[in-house]
Structure 1
Amino acid sequence: MVFDVNLFTDTLREFEIDLTKMPLGRLSRAQVLKAYRVLTELQQILEKGQDGQVQPVLKIEREVESKRFKKDIGNLHLLWHGSRLSNYVGILSQGLRISPPEAPVTGYMFGKGIYFADMVTKSANYCYVMNGQGLLLLCEVALGDIQEEKNGREIKKPKRGKNSVKGIGGTVPNSDEFENLNGATIPFVVYDEAQIRLKYLVSVKIGSTLL
């Protein structure tokens, strides 16, 4: 199966999703500053010889998502989320959703929540690339007060007074360098869909060295 960007975009328009091209040169100053860390990370990965190529960045606006977004929780972060190509029509029309109660619990490090990463390499592992083509979401996430967890366990929702869960990993992004891109990364988990706002869809041609 060959990924056709034009066909994919036309399909999204049929779902009345406002998905417009947003070249990096047209981003506002505030947007550039806010996205600097994550976009710089992606750029540095590619410049360090990784077999990858960034395709157009698309800006996403979902009115229902913007209205319900719980920004007052605070601690807003731009975080990565990866998923297989076949999931994106549903994601972009309905947003990221928590698995229903009847779905199996296996495979979730911290229970049924929506998982994000602060390093693109972690989310890229969930793209299940076809012909080297994958899609990554850059989302605005209201983390609020974070509950830190060292070991995986089933969590239905954060403790009282907490808004999200953070798995403590061994490698964190650094503004100067990335010492171990293939090491442990930090997952963030939210259990309320209203804490998420889709912001950008990044099409990436990913080689095996990036995954």
Structure 2
Amino acid sequence: MTTDQPGLRERKKAATREALSRAALRLAVERGLENVRVEDIAAEAGVSPRTYNNYFSSKAEAIVFRHRDRVRRAAGALRERPAAEPLWEALTRALLEPFGDTAEQPHPGWTAAVRLLLREPALRAELWRGGAEEAELAAAVAARTGTDPNRDLHPKLVAAAAMAAVKAADDQYLTADPPVPFQPLLTEALRLLAAGLPDPSIR
């Protein structure tokens, strides 16, 4: 019997990568990106700077990793959704899965600090550079719809639209006053896409 479950070594590497990404984000929010050294991130995660450099080539890459990992996990989750489930329902559930079942109210101080952090040009460029992850999502859409991601426009367009929904929901999440949970925003953004973005001025 074969299994797709990762081995112990892979799980340890994934845990280290996650710990480094969390540490990078937390320290950058607290101190500002320019005031955080690789040595600080490594120490916070309990590893050496050499280990850090085995995983990430920059602070921006470390911070953005969790976003990219969620897209990759969503692509995997989409492949596992029931075949009879409508595409946009399956895609919505898959994109929400990496965030878990909680919809906690965000802390205003945290969202304000992250919003300030995202003004960093290097971080913004890294955040939306994830072409490989979008391609994985397009491939999952193609597998579900029986299309070819290298030839057909549909899976690429669906993946690009879904990533635009993630970005729009994230922007709304970081600027909402008072703060609101992220998951309902993403759900609504994907619902609007699935409905064809109806004109809100027409009632």
Report the TM-score, using the length of structure 1 for normalisation.
Answer: 0.30
User: Which structure: greater strand fraction?
Assistant: 1
Greater per-residue helix proportion: 2
